[in-house]
Structure 1
Amino acid sequence: MELSFDIRGNLEPYQKIEIEFEELKNYFSDRFENSVTRKAIFDSYAKYLIDFQKEVTPNFVQWIDGSFITNKENPNDIDFVNLIDFDIYEKNEQIIEVKFRKYGAKNNYPGVDAYFVKVYSEEHDKSYMTEFDLVYWRNWFTETKKNRMKKKFPKGFVEIKFGTKN
């Protein structure tokens, strides 16, 4: 898949864009030969994925956003949300909180900013929580932060499906 960017360096189209892991590496790490941050961020992210798949689950969906998926030469980090089955989250909550979510992730994997959405089935009493969370993250990931003029701009974000279940 050929990815494109608007004049501000944001991913187009302004929606969720499904790609493969190798495409993420090629487009957002390898392509930036002069970047002093991208390779280290990507290596830390790749280590996170290996550990997460081994210690929690190989089956999950990830939404990736932030400056890492723009054409900014030297982003500060990679931001993403892991969408995993609620029962897997609850069984692994302690290790997720300590090692793989937000501050645990930042401490263990420099340059990684990780969040989670518990995915409840449509039949589950708490399925509304998944819907609320997905709307929240989709809104957050499809607009930039306000600039100095208090304007936001549209942008796209990336989805990668890991494992065989997804």
Structure 2
Amino acid sequence: MVDKLGSKLDDFKYPNSEILYGVDAYIIEVYPQGHKHNIRFLSDKAYWLDRFTKTRRIRGNKLSKGFLEINF
């Protein structure tokens, strides 16, 4: 689906997302269990969950992080 949408998603990923919305965003395509690319989704999800648990502090403030689901 991400490939089909192509440039329509550009505003929702870094660096455009940071310029437009102040969000450092990346896209993970979700594949259902049993799909041949499900392991790709699980790997990406594990990577980002790890990155979200090790946030740095800026001027003593912990940065807020989370997931945003976009349905087209």
Dislocated runs of 4+, deviation >3 Å: 156-163
In the alignment, which residue of structure 2 is the partner of 1:120?
31
Q: Which residue of 2 aligns with 1:93?
A: 6
Q: Which has the higher contact order (CA 8 A, sep 6+)?
A: 1
The one-letter code sitting in structure 1 at the alignment partner of 2:9 is: I
| Structure 1: gaps (5+ residues) | 1-86, 146-155
**RMSD, aligned CA:** 2.7
Normalising to structure 2: TM-score of the pair? 0.67
Residues 134-149 of structure 1: matches in 2 within 5 Å? 134-145=45-56
Structure (1/2) with the larger helix percentage: 2
Task: Give the structure with higher Rg (CA).
Answer: 1
- Size of the alignment, in residue pairs? 65
Structure 2: state its 5+ residue gaps. Answer: 57-63
Q: 1 or 2, which has the higher strand percentage?
A: 1
Q: 1:136 to 1:100 in 2, by over 3 A?
A: same
TM-score normalised by L of structure 1 = 0.33
